[in-house]
Amino acid sequence: MRSVGLDLGSRKIAYCEVAGEQVVERGMVTGLEGLQRWLGPTTEPARVAIEACREAWVVHDKLSEWGHQVLLVDTTRSKRLGIGQHGRKNDRIDAEVIARAVERGGIPAAHVLSPARRELREHLSIRRTLVETRAQYVMTIRGMIRGRHAKQVVGTCRTKDFVAKLHETALGEPTRELVAPLVAALEVVEEQLRVVDQKVEQLCAREPVVLLLSTAPGVGRIVAAAYVSVIDDAERFDKAHQVGAYLGLAPSEDSTGGNRRIGGITKKGNAYMRALLIEAAHSILRLKD
């Protein structure tokens, strides 16, 4: 089977095919269709490796449809392959390094998410962006109002209740006109957030495991859904402790010569999922208090 490496750039895709120690083919194309000359459905099957990234999913699906064995490279381990060594890194070189790793059989493969979990993760990502945007708008509006010495807007109200509270508050006309554009934008964000929340609820309703996880103390629907979208298939882990390490929650270690040195958590893996789990843990602690 042929050994192929692809480097997915923002504008072009670098292709490299290796046989033994020799590069037998290389090139640059502007999109998936350009790969048909080397990897189309009528070509000889190949093992094709690509670094895991946002573009990787559609490329993975198309190449699999064309009959190839597609390997996603775990980006946290890509340096082990030699990518970026000696200060030389570009799309052409990266594609060759990946192809040679395929030929050697030393690819640190990443898990390929199922289509359903990909869809769930995409909508959760949109929701996260909207929530962060809402928080930014609220913080800016509060700052503008405080800057005009109008402190009557309650700073302790929940972010999602802020617009209603703002409309109920007596503000001077100049102050209200000042923040009006941001308030209007905030109302649009709130409306879109409600739409996305409904979609997430629909997707969660199809996932019995999300509903089950939501019953755990401190774990709400969003935390459960995010966890399922990241872990996807729990069977790929032999032990529960491996999940903690996968999410960067295991302690770092620098032991040598019989001396064991344990540090803080590694913080490797999905940072958003790690933050959600820490929030859930704090919620449990508050419940105990």
Q: Residue 260 has what pLDDT?
A: 84
Q: Which residue has the tokens 């990518």?
A: 83
Q: pLDDT-based confidence at 46, cuts 50/70/90?
A: very high
Residue 152 is predicted with a pLDDT of 57
- The pTM of the full predicted model, rounded to 2 decimals, is 0.85
Residue 15 and residue 97 in one domain: yes
Mean pLDDT to the nearest integer, 257-266? 86
Within this chain, do residues 130 and 190 fall inside the same structural domain, yes or no?
Answer: yes
Average pLDDT over residues 175-193: 93
Residue 219 lies in a domain: no
Q: CA 47 to CA 99: how far, in whole Å?
A: 9
pLDDT of residue 78 exceeding 60: yes
| 120-161 per-position pLDDT tens digit | 999 999 999 999 999 999 999 988 888 876 665 555 567 778
Q: Which domain holds residue 193?
A: 115-205
- Do 120 and 100 belong together in one domain? no
**pLDDT value of position 232:** 95
Count structural domains, the chain: 3
Identity of residue 282: H
Please tell me whether residues 146 and 200 are part of one structural domain: yes
In the prediction, which pLDDT does 86 show? 63
Q: Is the pLDDT of residue 170 over 90?
A: no
* Per-residue pLDDT reduced to its tens digit, 202-212: 999 999 999 99
In a domain, 281, yes or no: yes
